[in-house]
């Protein structure tokens, strides 16, 4: 395996080096009143190469002006980046009509977008053709956001304004995820998240009641947005937590993966959005064969005992 790109490991301000990708289309209503027509909208994702912070923008159409307006909103909120990385368009050649439109948009406007970046003293870098693995950091993020978002919006009809609100909530969820322990202090139960780089503290949300089990026709507009964001949280959390669990069956025992003092993320399917239950391991419980399958964990609310399959060790590197 090759080394990470220099922009991934160089200390820099958030969004100094950015990856960009498109996702969609999403079918929205052009207005909230009767007789609304269905229109298409797209998701534009910006991800910081070093901090993994995410910025999501709603785009109304696949035109250069729409993208430059989106890029201008991003710059005014996050600052002007030094380097931008993106697909060169040829990665979108597929049989699907919508993916072909994305491809044609990027190919036809590659020169104009690059010229704009050059005037603004921003270096635009395009990855090699047919090499999506070169953009793995933004490909993984756009996949998570697009896949779960389409399933969550499915039973609802939302407007462009409501779609923008949903993207803002999803952005907060993605930027609240724990990355690594904040310190090695056994009494410190906090983890470093992308939110620390953006606002200096963890990103949290107002704890609204769970409305995912309510019938759709009984929800008003605001509750519908809550239902979509809560369903996204549940789907994405179930996908993200297993990624933190290293699969080492038949290779290493649990005691070599988890030790006393490790900061772990505890699985809790009923936790509200942006609420991550963290704790420090205080005791290991090996079985008769010497393999650790149960641990005691110190949390902010007291001691817990959990199976090893219900905890995820946060990486240190």
pLDDT in tens, 86-109: 876 543 433 345 545 655 666 666
Closest CA to 254 of 304, 309, 298: 309
pLDDT at 115: 67
Which domains does the chain possess? 6-180 (3.30.420.10), 254-313 (2.30.30)
Distance CA 254, CA 308 (A): 8
The whole-number pLDDT of residue 114 equals 66
Helix (H, G, I), strand (E, B) or coil at 148: helix
In the chain (317 residues long), the average pLDDT of successive 10-residue segments reads: 75 89 85 83 90 91 83 90 76 43 64 66 73 71 75 78 90 90 85 91 85 78 86 83 59 64 86 88 86 89 88 78
pLDDT digits (tens, 9 = 90+) for 16-71: 999 888 887 888 888 877 878 888 889 899 999 888 899 999 998 888 788 888 88
Place of tokens 């724990």: 178
The per-residue pLDDT for 296 is 92
Task: Name the pairing type of β-strands 17-29 and 277-286.
Answer: unpaired
How many whole angstroms separate alpha carbon 41 and alpha carbon 235? 22
**Alpha-carbon distances, residue 40 vs 45, 112, 116 (angstroms):** 17, 24, 26
Q: Rounded distance, CA 284 to CA 249, Å?
A: 18
The length of the chain is 317
Distance CA 236, CA 144 (A): 7
Cβ(7)–Cβ(41) under 8 Å? no
* CA–CA distance, 215 with 211 (Å, rounded to integer): 9
Which pLDDT score, from 0 to 100, does residue 236 have?
83
CA–CA dist 7, 50 (Å, integer): 7
Strand partners, 28: 39
DSSP state, residue 271 = P
| C-alpha radius of gyration, the chain, whole number | 22
| Predicted pLDDT of residue 211 | 84
Candidates 282, 278, 273, 268; CA nearest to 314 is 278
């Amino acid at each position: 395996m090759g080394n990470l790109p220099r922009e991934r490991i160089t200390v820099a301000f958030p969004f100094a080096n950015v990856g960009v990708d498109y996702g969609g289309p999403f079918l929205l209503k052009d207005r909230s009143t009767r007789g609304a027509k269905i229109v298409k909208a797209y998701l534009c994702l910006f991800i910081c190469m070093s901090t993994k912070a995410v910025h999501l923008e709603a785009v109304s159409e696949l035109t250069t002006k729409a993208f430059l307006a989106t890029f201008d909103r991003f710059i005014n909120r996050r600052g002007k980046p030094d380097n931008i990385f993106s697909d060169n368009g040829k990665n979108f050649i597929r049989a699907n009509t919508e993916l072909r439109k994305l491809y044609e948009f990027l190919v036809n406007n590659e020169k104009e977008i690059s010229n704009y970046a050059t005037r603004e003293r921003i270096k635009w870098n395009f990855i090699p053709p047919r090499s999506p693995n070169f953009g793995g950091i933004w490909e993984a993020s756009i996949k998570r956001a697009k896949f779960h978002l389409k399933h969550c919006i499915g039973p609802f009809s939302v407007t462009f304004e409501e779609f923008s609100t949903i993207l803002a909530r999803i952005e907060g969820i993605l930027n609240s995820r724990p990355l690594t322990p904040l310190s090695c202090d056994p009494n410190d139960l906090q983890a470093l998240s992308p939110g620390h780089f953006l606002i200096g503290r963890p990103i949290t949300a107002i704890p609204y009641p769970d409305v995912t089990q309510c019938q759709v026709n009984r929800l008003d507009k605001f509750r519908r947005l809550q239902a979509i964001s809560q369903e996204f949280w549940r789907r994405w959390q179930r996908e993200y937590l297993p990624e933190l669990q290293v699969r080492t069956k038949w290779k290493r025992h649990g005691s070599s993966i988890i030790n006393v003092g490790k900061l772990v993320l505890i699985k809790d399917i009923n936790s509200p959005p942006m609420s991550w239950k963290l704790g420090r391991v205080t005791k290991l419980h090996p079985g008769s064969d010497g393999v650790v399958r149960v641990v005691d964990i110190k949390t902010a609310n007291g001691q817990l005992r959990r199976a090893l399959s219900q905890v995820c060790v946060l990486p240190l590197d």
